[in-house]
Chains A and B, each alone.
Chain A
Amino acid sequence: MKVLDVQSISVKYGDIQALWDISFSVAKGQLVALIGANGAGKTTTLKALCGLIPVAGGEIGYNGTVTSGLPVHKVVDLGITLVPEGRQLFPKMSVEDNLLVGAYLKRTHSKRSQTLKKIYSIFPRLEERRTQSAETLSGGEQQMVAIGRALMQDPQVIMFDEPSLGLSPIMVQEVFKVIQDLHREGLTIFLVEQNVHQTLKVADYCYVMENGRIVGQGTGKELEADQSIREAYLGF
């Protein structure tokens, strides 16, 4: 069953077109990845999916509802969320307040203390740092807050925009482990990554993007076997 169904969307920044006729879908419980070089349009795609920028054409469907045209706060209320590029935490707020904003929505507000406990059990380090302001954390800890905050929303679909960017090798492994754990628990995941090797290993299905267009797709194995993809993204 398709949870996300994107049908030939285009996005423009003023007169400049960033996305051209993008179509793809994500089935329930799948981990689907989107890879591509810098500037290909990955972040733009994610922003359009959650309503942060409007689409100029096409349609985004989520569980049978059309979400293109809805403002971001309505889209996330339906159960899609994004762990954005560069974390985008609330820098002056404490770690705990950052997490609690995740339960801002009415549908999650009543059970927020239980959800918070669950997040702290996934990331015990955050509980130790709960009163610290977010800007004082290390990059890896900030990524945990960003993921924890998204999980506080009790999403059905969680999208990640380059979650391993700028992290130490150990933290990169930890982030991938968390994503795989969430996948195993049944969450639907849409992952944008530069770390192509590892992404192809964990993803059920992959799309490849170039200059605002989808130029390839397949399972990780299929893409690894594809000569042009290997040359462009894997470097061998």
Chain B
Amino acid sequence: MELLPQALADGVMLGGIYITIAIAFSLTYGVMHVIDFAVGEWIMFGAFTGYYLNKWTGLDPFLFLPVIFVAYFGVGYLIQPVIHRVLSGTKGNPFLMGLVFTFGLAIMFKGLALTVFGYYSNSIPSMFSEGAFNFDVFGAAVTIPTVRLVGLAYALAITAVLHYMLKKTNFGLGVRALAQHKDAAGLMGVNSRRTGSYVYGIYVGISAMTGVLLGCILSIGAQMGNEYTIFAFFVVVLAGMGYLAGVPWAALLLGLVQSIFMIYFNPSHTLLAVFVILYLILLISPRGLFGKGV
């Protein structure tokens, strides 16, 4: 039992990271109706960008977060029209073609990264890398590395900013309208193309920033994207496709399941356990944890 508090703490930290991976991903799905399989690669690119910026300038990677957001927002903004074209085609099945297209992007990005960066894996040094907080919970020792706590704070900040944007700004009102009814949103004056580009840009920017964070907490490598794509997909399906309010809870649940399983059972079977749990939940509630997905 003395391991439980540590397992819970780890689970919450992990869940926090999953929130940032999944929340903008879910928003993008809601607005563009595309599952972007390249999400892990945006994370990977962000991580490498942070790594090299740190190497060249010697400055702390956390200072670069805004720069990385702006740069990758631009990349996403410019790429979105291409994806939009694929999705709004009239020939074949545009939804499937969209999936294949983002899958292709992911493979291309990964190949590019392997060529440029090779197979090595490394982590990004940061001022938060060393320290840790030690607590005593009912006699059980709990250690929380500073960098993970910073990661959690970042996740909460991203969630709060997105929430504010969606609920309190005119732009957010347009985004919500677009996600619920494209034609009607157009009739209200929402420019669906530009709004879609902004949303995709925001998503790519957030994913890249999350990559830097993951590079500080864990490690970076050309193949690191794979598992994050899987987790993003898990969280979004668990939350209910396109149901944004479910994402934080689904992410936390996933983090907790994973950390508890890692401590009490066999760590190498964690992913399998997560799969099984997701499967069971979808069996009982096909539209996600809250029954509010599509």
Contact = CB atoms under 8 A, between A and B. Distances in A.
B187 A72 contact: yes
Contact of A81 (B174, B187, B191): B187
A229 interface: no
B184 A88 contact: yes
Interface stretch (A95-103, A117-125, A196-204, A208-216): A95-103
Nearest to B180: A90
A14 B177 contact: no
Interface size grouping (class) on chain A = 20 to 34
A218 interface: no
B187 A109 contact: no
Contacts, number: 69
Interface string B163-181: 0000000100110110011
Contact of B186 (A72, A90, A97): A72
B189 interface: yes
Interface string A31-61: 0000000000000000000111000000000
A77 B189 contact: yes
A84 interface: yes
Interface string B86-102: 00001000000000000
B101 to A, nearest CB: 23
Interface in B82-121: 90
B228 to A, nearest CB: 28
B176 A93 contact: yes
Interface of A: 14, 50-52, 71-73, 76-77, 81-82, 84, 88-93, 97, 100-102, 104-105, 109, 149-150, 153
A77 B186 CA distance: 10
A90 B183 CA distance: 11
Which 5 A-B residue pairs are closest in the complex by CB-CB distance? A72-B186, A105-B189, A88-B184, A90-B180, A101-B188
Contact of B173 (A14, A50, A104): A104
Scoring B90, B188, B190 by chain A CB atoms within 10 A of each residue's CB, the highest score goes to B188
Nearest to A87: B184
Contact of B177 (A72, A84, A93): A93
11 contacts: A84-B184, A89-B184, A93-B176, A97-B176, A101-B190, A102-B188, A104-B173, A104-B174, A104-B189, A104-B190, A150-B187
Contact of A104 (B90, B170, B181, B183): B170
B176 A90 contact: yes
Contacts of A14: 90
A153 B90 contact: no
B174 A101 contact: yes
Contact of B185 (A82, A101, A109): A101
B183 A52 contact: yes
Nearest to A105: B189
Given A76-B189, A93-B180, 19 more contacts: A71-B191, A73-B190, A73-B191, A73-B192, A76-B187, A76-B188, A77-B189, A88-B181, A90-B176, A90-B184, A91-B180, A93-B177, A100-B173, A101-B173, A101-B174, A104-B170, A104-B177, A105-B188, A150-B187
Nearest to B189: A105
B27 to A, nearest CB: 14
Contacts of A73: 186, 189-192
Contacts of A84: 183-184, 187
Scoring A91, A101, A105, A109 by chain B CB atoms within 10 A of each residue's CB, the highest score goes to A101
B187 A50 contact: yes
A90 B186 CA distance: 12
A52 B188 CA distance: 12
Contacts of B187: 50, 52, 72, 76, 81-82, 84, 88, 150
A60 to B, nearest CB: 16
A99 to B, nearest CB: 10
Nearest to A92: B180
Contacts of B174: 101, 104
A81 B186 CA distance: 10
Nearest to A82: B187
B191 A101 contact: no
Contacts of A100: 173
A149 B43 CA distance: 40
A215 B176 CA distance: 41
B67 to A, nearest CB: 30
Contacts of B180: 90-93
Nearest to B193: A71
A93 B167 CA distance: 10
Nearest to B292: A92
